[in-house]
């Protein structure tokens, strides 16, 4: 029997942030476009982000969440304070999904596993009106559309409870999981006083001082203390991404609230293990995949049969997005693929080799006489992630454009033929049957991906 959905509705949609999907997406994408990140190392393992109303804290939160663009995280554990009930301990949600104007977000299986631990409680009454965790969810939905979440309200904890929380979080902070700490800094002090207080808090965070932070004016100091203890144990390196307070945003500096974005990054050795590079597949493996593609096309054209490749290579059995491109005498002869990882790699190569040869409606089917002149290229894709126009142009990424039920994609290598960004995106819009400037419309959605490309 399918699990019955238990939905936690948004508590502050339409007040703390826009309640209309298009307006919310436009606001968040605007913040992400404006966030000019400092140099950072790899992907963050932990992020601190503020949780005030988006007009105030959104520009700072964007600095944290922009570091996740292009990441392949599947789960996000979110820690935050309770503003409506004085609580101690750790509180999980009993829902199966949380709702925002951007849609439903599923709670990860980690949530039910934590619910079995004696240090965690399930209490929807505490979660129902709380904004601190909710404010991070639309940002996550934007940069990681397939993300699942584990929302945890953190109340007062003693030292041993903080240590235990750090231990539990370390257990679940696997390669596909990122940790988000929802935290504002000082509240309602004159501008100069607030800056001094916030500088002290930021200093303790950057020094991983899990004891000193408990004396600072900061939301959820017990959550922050536990996470700093975790970061210290894992040798994560903190980096301040952005600091502002509400006075910087509104101009009213009489009583301000501080907002900080901080990322915690792995060491170079840790990141090298995480990063998938062009050498993910050996030369022998690339040759084998190219052999599968050519054998498939030859058998299909000569015998009308579909090749059935066999393998015990786990890399070939992993589901991946794949495009197969055929070139003849330096000119495109066919290109078809799967954007999403819907089939094992070896099957995706086989199926798209056939489609590129006979089902690309831009060309007549390939004839047997052309086989000797064909050059085969394979592109193995990462999973597309929501991205900004500026970021895609900067990184020369592959891109999926969607608008009004229509869409199109260009592989990263298309940048070599269309290096001008306006020409690139105009051509992409036209390919999707849209107006040439559609990529600038508020309703246009952009997703980026990378590709491992190899050819005969």
- 112 by Cβ neighbours in 10 Å (0-12 / 13-18 / 19+) ranks as middle
Residue 57: predicted pLDDT? 97
DSSP state for residue 324 in the 8-state scheme:
E
Residue 442: predicted pLDDT? 80
Out of 3.40.228.10, 3.40.830.10, 3.10.290.10, 3.30.70.420, which CATH number does the structure's domain 7-274 have? Answer: 3.40.830.10
Q: What is the pLDDT along the chain (456 residues), one digit of tens a residue?
A: 556 899 999 999 999 999 999 999 999 999 999 998 876 556 899 999 999 999 999 999 999 999 998 788 999 999 999 999 999 999 999 999 999 999 999 999 999 999 999 999 999 999 999 999 999 999 999 999 999 999 999 999 999 999 999 999 998 998 889 999 999 999 999 999 999 999 999 999 999 999 999 999 999 899 999 999 999 999 899 999 999 999 999 999 999 999 999 999 986 555 554 544 456 788 899 999 999 999 999 999 999 999 999 998 888 998 999 999 999 988 999 999 999 889 999 999 999 999 999 999 999 999 999 999 999 999 999 888 888 888 788 788 899 999 988 999 999 999 988 988 899 999 999 999 999 999 988 888 999 988 999 999
- 171 by Cβ neighbours in 10 Å (0-12 / 13-18 / 19+) ranks as exposed
Residue 282 contacts by C-beta under 8 Å, 6 or more apart in sequence?
none
Contact 376, 318 (CB under 8 A): no
Fold of 385-455: Dna Ligase; domain 1 (3.30.1490)
Both tokens of 244, joined, read 């502002």
Cα–Cα distance for residue pair 172/151, rounded to 1 Å: 14
Domain boundaries, the chain: 7-274, 278-381, 385-455
Q: What is the reported pTM?
A: 0.64
Cα–Cα distance for residue pair 29/35, rounded to 1 Å: 10
Q: What is the DSSP secondary-structure string of 26-94?
A: HHHHHHHHH--PPP--S-EEEEEE--S-HHHHHHHHHHHHHTTTT----EEEEEE--SSS--BSEEE--
Spell out a b/e string for 129-156, using b for 16 or more CB atoms within 10 Å of the CB, else e. ebbbbbbbbbbbbbbbbebbbbbbbbbe
H/E run at residue 399:
strand 398-403
Both tokens of 73, joined, read 């995280």
Domain 278-381 coded CATH 1.20.1250.40: no
Return the residue matching tokens 């309640």: 19
Residue 270: predicted pLDDT? 53
Residue 273: predicted pLDDT? 47
């Amino acid at each position: 029997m399918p699990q019955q959905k238990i939905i936690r509705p948004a508590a502050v949609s339409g007040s703390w942030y826009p309640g209309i999907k298009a307006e919310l997406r436009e606001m968040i994408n605007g913040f992400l476009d404006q966030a000019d990140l400092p140099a950072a190392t790899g992907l963050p393992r932990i992020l601190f982000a503020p949780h005030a109303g988006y007009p105030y804290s959104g520009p700072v939160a964007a600095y944290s969440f922009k570091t996740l663009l292009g990441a392949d995280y599947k789960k996000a554990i979110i820690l935050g304070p309770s503003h409506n009930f004085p609580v101690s301990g750790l509180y999980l949600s009993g829902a199966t999904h949380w709702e925002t104007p951007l849609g439903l977000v599923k709670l990860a299986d980690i949530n039910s596993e934590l619910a079995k631990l004696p240090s965690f409680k399930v209490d929807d009454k505490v979660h129902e009106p709380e904004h601190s965790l909710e404010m991070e969810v639309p940002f996550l939905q934007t940069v990681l559309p397939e993300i699942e979440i584990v929302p945890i309200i953190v109340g007062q904890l003693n030292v041993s409870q903080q240590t235990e929380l750090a231990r539990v979080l370390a257990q679940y902070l696997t390669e596909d999981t990122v940790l988000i700490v929802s935290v504002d800094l000082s509240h309602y002090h004159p501008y100069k006083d607030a800056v001094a207080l916030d500088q002290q808090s930021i200093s303790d965070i950057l020094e991983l001082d899990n004891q000193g932070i408990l004396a600072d004016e900061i939301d959820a100091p017990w959550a922050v203390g536990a996470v700093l203890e975790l970061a210290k144990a894992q040798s994560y390196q903190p980096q301040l991404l952005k600091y502002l307070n509400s006075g910087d945003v509104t101009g009213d500096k009489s009583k301000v609230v501080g907002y900080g974005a901080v990322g915690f990054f792995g060491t170079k050795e840790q990141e090298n293990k995480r990063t998938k590079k062009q050498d993910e597949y050996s030369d022998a493996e690339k040759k084998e995949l190219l052999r599968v593609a050519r054998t498939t096309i030859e058998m299909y054209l000569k015998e009308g049969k579909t090749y059935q490749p066999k393998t015990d290579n786990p890399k070939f059995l992993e589901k991946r997005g794949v495009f197969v491109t055929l070139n003849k005498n330096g000119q495109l002869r066919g290109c078809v693929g799967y954007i999403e990882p819907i089939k094992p790699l070896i099957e995706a190569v086989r199926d798209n080799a056939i489609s590129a040869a006979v089902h690309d409606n831009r060309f007549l089917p390939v004839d047997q006489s052309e086989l000797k002149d064909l050059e085969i290229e394979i592109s193995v894709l990462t999973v597309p992630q929501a991205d900004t126009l500026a970021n895609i142009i900067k990184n020369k990424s592959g891109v999926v454009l969607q608008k009004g039920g229509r869409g199109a994609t260009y592989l990263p290598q298309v940048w070599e033929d269309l290096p001008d960004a306006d020409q690139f995106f105009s051509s992409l819009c036209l390919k999707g049957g849209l107006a040439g400037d559609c990529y600038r419309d508020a309703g246009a959605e952009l997703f980026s991906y990378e590709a491992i490309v190899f050819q005969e």
